[in-house]
Amino acid sequence: MQAIAGKKIILGVTGSIAAYKAVYLTRLLVKAGAEVQVLMTPSAARFVQPLTFATLSKRPVFMDVTAEDAWNNHVEMGLWADAMLVAPATANTLARLANGICDNIIAAVYLSARCPVFVAPAMDVDMWHHPSTQANIKRLQSYGNHLIPVESGELASGLEGEGRLAEPENIVAFLSKFFGVSQALVGQKALITAGPTYEAIDPVRFIGNRSSGKMGVALAKAIIEQGGEVVLVMGPSKLQPQMNGLTLIRVESAQEMYDHAVAQFPSCQVGIMAAAVADYRPLDPAQEKIKKKGDRMTIELVKNPDIAATLGSQKKSDQTLIGFALETENGEANARGKLTRKNLDYIVLNSLRDPGAGFGTDTNKVSIFGADNKVVHFELKSKEEVAKDIIATTLTKNK
Ligand code: PMT
């Protein structure tokens, strides 16, 4: 969530039952890397304790414009912030802000704010549709403020209709979009396999491959930037990825990667198999270092479980599974074969015939084949750009 990371956000919480959602909203904003300063009206504090917000935001909550520590701050805060967000904004608060009535700290900071202001209303369906409320909304928008649309559904009163506070994920997505990066993957969790696997021959030797893990890490970064969460199951790689929203599971062998991937996939909406997994492993790894003997030696290998194919066989209709095909010949035919055999939704072909593509490099050149027979070819690009192309083609194309 680069767009939100580092942003200073004032969150004004007003007295609505939806104030409880502002707790999760605070957590999402902080998790995305924002500095959050919470302001509350006294009636908001009757729904949620200020201590909850203070703990989550790691800053004191201000409620009283005349309090010693807040008196000068309403002007300073208005200048400090990159954005002011009023969520939930009650009908009363909308009226107050629309008419410049400065009788609480949120209104005082609002009038001092030079940053963009966002209001996320919350109220009952009839209050929302009342001409007074709608006129206040129009007036606020005419001053350049941004309306985060209400959502529709069951309301606290028991009535159904428009007036619900937008879900916290949607509020974060709205802000992020405003700041420049789509947040189409908020609420989505992706399992990514990355890097090589090492298959022990004896305690010092292994069968491995040249994967660096860069492609998988680039994918993790791109998904997190768009609001998603990632579980990255990574084989031995020098990379040390650290990001909010990333759970890193380090493994060595294909069997370990398989065990973790199979355990994680049911709680994910997306699986991306970017790892270069050894197809075979030594049947009987030696317990002690193998000594040099004759001119030849034979190691008997046994097949490893196929992670992508197993997840493909367990995939639910709301899960998307994306594989890679690393080929040296007959790229398209081999990729299509793997797409079908492993029951993938998409396969990303990279060929070692293309200079700059595949293992170890900072660049890659890919073609993406869909189970729907659609194909998209891309030029050589950085792995970060390739990751964004993969996500745009497979996960966010309709968003
Ligand atoms: O890590 P980098 O240096 O950045 O390099 C990136 C990459 C070249 C490793 C990556 O882009 C890539 O192509 N990964 C897949 C490599 C591979 O092993 O492809 P494959 O054609 O052998 O396998 C097909 C698919 O099945 C892959 O998604 C693979 O992860 C998966 N597979 C294969 C075998 C196995 N036992 N389990 C699997 O899940």
Res 1: pLDDT: 47
Ligand 1 centroid to Cα of residue 307, in Å, is 10
CB atoms < 10 A from the CB of 318, how many? 6
Residue of the nearest CA to atom 23 in ligand 1?
A: 325
Evaluate: CB of 312 within 6 angstroms of ligand 1. no
Helices 168-179, 19-31: inter-axial angle, 10-degree rounding: 50
- Would 8-179 and 189-394 be classified into the same CATH topology? yes
Parts of the chain with a pLDDT under 50: 1
For the chain, percent of residues with pLDDT exceeding 90: 82
Longest dimension (CA), the chain: 93
Q: Which atom of ligand 1 is nearest to the CA of 358?
A: 8
Q: Which atom of ligand 1 is nearest to the CA of 325?
A: 21
Mutate to test the pocket of ligand 1, among 304, 324, 367 (most ligand atoms within 8 A of CB): 324
Q: Which atom of ligand 1 is nearest to the CA of 279?
A: 36
Evaluate: CB of 349 within 6 angstroms of ligand 1. no
Evaluate: CB of 325 within 6 angstroms of ligand 1. yes
Q: What are phi and psi of 98, to 5 degrees?
A: -65, -30
Class of the CATH-defined domain 189-394: alpha beta
Evaluate: CB of 360 within 6 angstroms of ligand 1. yes
Evaluate: CB of 136 within 6 angstroms of ligand 1. no
Ligand 1 centroid to Cα of residue 270, in Å, is 16
Evaluate: CB of 215 within 6 angstroms of ligand 1. yes
Evaluate: CB of 331 within 6 angstroms of ligand 1. no
Res 68: pLDDT: 61
- Enumerate the domain spans of the chain: 8-179, 189-394
Res 72: pLDDT: 61
Ligand 1 centroid to Cα of residue 326, in Å, is 6
SS (H, E, C) the chain: CCCCCCCEEEEEECCCCCHHHHHHHHHHHHHCCCEEEEEECCCHHHHCCHHHHHHHHCCCCECCCCCCCCCCHHHHHHHHCCEEEEEEECHHHHHHHHCCCCCCHHHHHHHHCCCCEEEEECCCHHHHHCHHHHHHHHHHHHCCCEECCCEEEECCCCCEEEEECCCHHHHHHHHHHHHCCCCCCCCCEEEEEECECCEECCCCCEECCCCCCHHHHHHHHHHHHCCCEEEEEECCCCCCCCCCCEEEEECCCHHHHHHHHHHHHHHCCEEEECCECCCEEECCCCCCCCCCCCCCCCCCEEECCCHHHHHHHHCCCCCEEEEEEEECCCHHHHHHHHHHHCCCCEEEEEECCCCCCCCCCCEECEEEEECCCCEEECCCEEHHHHHHHHHHHHCCCCC
Class of the CATH-defined domain 8-179: alpha beta
Q: Where in the sequence numbering do the catalytic residues fall?
A: 209
Q: Which atom of ligand 1 is nearest to the CA of 214?
A: 4
Q: How far apart are the C-alpha atoms of 399 and 397, rounded to whole Å?
A: 6
